[in-house]
Chains A and B, each alone.
Chain A
Amino acid sequence: MKNYTIKSGRLKKFITNSIVHIGLAIVGLIWVLPIFFVILTSFREEGGTYKSYILPRGYTLDNYKGLFNQTGSLVFTQWLTNTLIVAVASCILATFFVLCVSYVLSRLRFRMRKKLLNIALILGMFPSFMSMISVYYILKGFGFLESGQLKLAALVLVYSCGASLGFYIAKGFFDTLPRTIDEAACIDGASKWKVFTKITIPMSKPIIVNTLLISFMAPWVDYIFAKVILGQDRKYFTVAIGLWSMLEKEFIEYYYTTFFAGCVIISIPVVILFLFTQRFYVEGTSGAVKG
């Protein structure tokens, strides 16, 4: 009796396994095809926009070369540098803010704690760019929109201040750290500042790396806010607005394939960073839910 069930069970298992793998392959193909489309188009020889065929007729590297030629209104290298500067500055500031806020709200107990948590929750429910116009005028009031460099600095400020409201994942992580260590250190006479800098931060490497990378990636992909703040001066665009502008009506016929080359270029670092953070991402989220 036992032998018989094992045999038919094996066959059944083989069939279900095959079905599962074939299914996964088909679904996987759907997920990968658009990415292939981007890569293929970036190497397409023929200019212009849409073609009635799918695979390009010829392949070339000119689209990539064109990106770095810095001709006319296309200053891709400049955009890359701008974005890099904004990304580095805002990820350092944002991580500092997020660590401070999440540590305080997770580990310290004080009168306003619950209220602050509720306020953060409420603020998160307003559409984020409802107040974009007023932010624009506030920045203008501070004199941040006088020159291109200052506009980029304004972007850094807005990104990093906005990031400090996204403390939930880091807070979830801090919630899972054992409290007894803090208490032991306090009994030994350490101040809370010491506990924060000497005990908690060294234990939180995964979440620090995670926050750093998430806030590093934001400027590469945000364009709504950047568009409103940076205005029309193409020299001070970030990559996202620069690429977006290549699809505008007056440029799309010339820059369609170049646009995809640009997409591939900025996707590569993001893909690498993302695959690197994936581990932290899974850990961080499950920690937050458990907490």
Chain B
Amino acid sequence: MAEMKQKRSNKPIFLGDYGFGTAFMHGNLITKLSAIIFGLGSILHKQIIRGLLYLAMEIGYFIYMSIIGIKALQDLVTLGTKVQEEVYNEAKGIYEYVVGDNSMLFLLYGVVTIFVSVLFIAILTSSVKSAYDSEIRKTLGKPIPKFSDDIKSLSNNKLQATLLAIPILGVVAFTVIPLVFNIFIAFTNYDKDHQPPGNLFDWVGFDNFVSMFKTGGVLAKTFWPVFQWTIIWAIFATFTCYILGMLLAIVINREGTRGKGFWRFLFVLSIAVPQFVSLLTMRTIFNTNGPVNSLLRSLDVIGVTESIPFLTDGSIAKITIICINIWIGVPFTMLSTTGILNNIPKDLYEAAKVDGANSIVTFFKITLPYMLFITTPTLITAFVGNINSFNVIYLLTGGGPESIDFYYAGETDLLVTWLYKLTITNKDYNLGSVIGIIVFVTLATFSLLTYRHTASYKDEEAFQ
């Protein structure tokens, strides 16, 4: 079913899914009044229950606002004024705490109130649209839906509303609201010196961003190296796994290889082991006194008391991490490219063979272009995933070795693990949020730029 096209310039006199603008501009007085008294249009068009529901929601909103909402919005602006203090209680002869304002809760309630208000506006537009719909139906002489029809349409034309209601509620409650809350925190001084309830925090505008980028500051001195390593890590992690995994899939898939299922099983086994188990094992294996160093010692590669600092020296740790990531990532690529490799039209290869191309030429001229074309979106997702790859770094080195030049970060810390340290260990929530926003901006720009330049975006039918 194609989406209904609608003209915005002339008053549409057909039924369809109008925007709020059309409905409000072209509707009659009753429709316009429905923006102030919700459900007025519906009630006057004899859709009593629908109208009353609208009205009830409006009244509910106003009650909420008058009791909690307006104060919550005021508190959102001030973020609290009363600091918790000790007061001497003469009757008991001790100092007592007098509860002050809690900036964190004020911010949270403020955000929730903003969302409730957004919902209110959505109901407002819906009320106007519903009134306009009935108005049009009346002029066209069509039947106006009764409440029972409304219920029925929830399982047919408005099925999306029924099916999406609960998931969207969940996502708003546990993803969107927390996210907005944290974006707000980036503009406050909610750090370890301003912890509610003992203390208040306040709006500071762009100060956190400025201090993050100000040259010479300890934050900037930490941020740029960490940022640089994050990008290098993401590029290496993505491409090593992609190319090696694809090669592995090709080698297993080639005609002469026997026991394809066995080889695949061998590599897939490492995915099936829970990631934190394999990572913690790797950390043990590459420990200063772990099996690898023991093996090297017994083979006389290094002295009896020597050890290679696989995970404890900054530069070596970076290489070790990338290698371990190959161990983890290659089977994934192998698994996901196997299906696509089988889909490459066989006649392409036969034609190349007739023309005398060897396997290296066919790889670069047929397989790789085809795979890049099909899997670029996956590649972008993998890159995004690697920028946000928390587990590998956190479980292998914990970001270490620690560096004294850095603000609570180690040499192998990525932006995300630094974020984790800042928020969980250090309670500098404002800085953590700033980093989260920077990561988001980086990823969003990157995805937009690359996705628009991919072949699959420009020319969807090249290989069809």
Contact = CB atoms under 8 A, between A and B. Distances in A.
Contacts of A50: 284, 287, 289-290
A228 B268 contact: no
Contacts of A132: 178, 423
Interface stretch (B219-227, B309-317, B335-343): B335-343
Interface in B380-426: 384, 388, 390-391, 394, 415-416, 419-420, 423-424
A58 interface: no
B178 A193 contact: no
Interface stretch (B37-45, B54-62, B161-169): B161-169
A84 B274 CA distance: 15
Given A138-B108, A192-B155, A289-B374, A271 B273 contact: yes
A196 to B, nearest CB: 7
B171 A247 contact: no
A5 interface: no
Nearest to B295: A54
A141 interface: yes
Given A126-B179, A129-B420, A138-B108, A101 B164 contact: yes
Interface string A8-35: 0000010011001101100110111011
Contact of B433 (A17, A130, A267): A130
B266 A31 contact: yes
A204 interface: no
B164 A104 contact: yes
A94 to B, nearest CB: 10
A132 B439 CA distance: 16
Nearest to B269: A35
A67 to B, nearest CB: 14
- Interface of A (DSSP majority class): helix
Contacts of B251: 20, 23-24
Of the four ranges (under 10, 10 to 19, 20 to 34, 35 or more), the interface on chain A belongs to 35 or more
Contact of A267 (B277, B295, B375, B432): B277
B48 interface: no
A52 B390 contact: no
B182 A131 contact: yes
B166 A97 contact: yes
B447 A125 contact: yes
B295 A34 contact: no
Residue from B159, B179, B289, B378 having most chain A Cβ neighbours under 10 A:
B159
Contacts of B175: 123, 131, 161-162, 165
Nearest to B163: A100
A51 interface: yes
A274 to B, nearest CB: 4
Contact of A127 (B271, B287, B416): B416
Contact of B390 (A161, A193, A224): A224
Given A138-B173, A164-B167, A267-B273, A275 B268 contact: yes
Interface string A247-285: 100000000000010010011001100110010011101
Given A54-B295, A126-B440, A271-B269, A164 B171 contact: yes
Interface in B41-88: none
B256 interface: yes
Contact of B164 (A52, A100, A135, A266): A100
A180 interface: no
7 contacts: A31-B267, A34-B281, A34-B282, A110-B3, A127-B390, A133-B423, A240-B276
In the A-B complex, the 3 residue pairs with the closest CB atoms: A161-B170, A131-B178, A130-B436
Given A141-B108, A192-B159, 5 more contacts: A35-B270, A50-B284, A130-B419, A224-B391, A274-B271
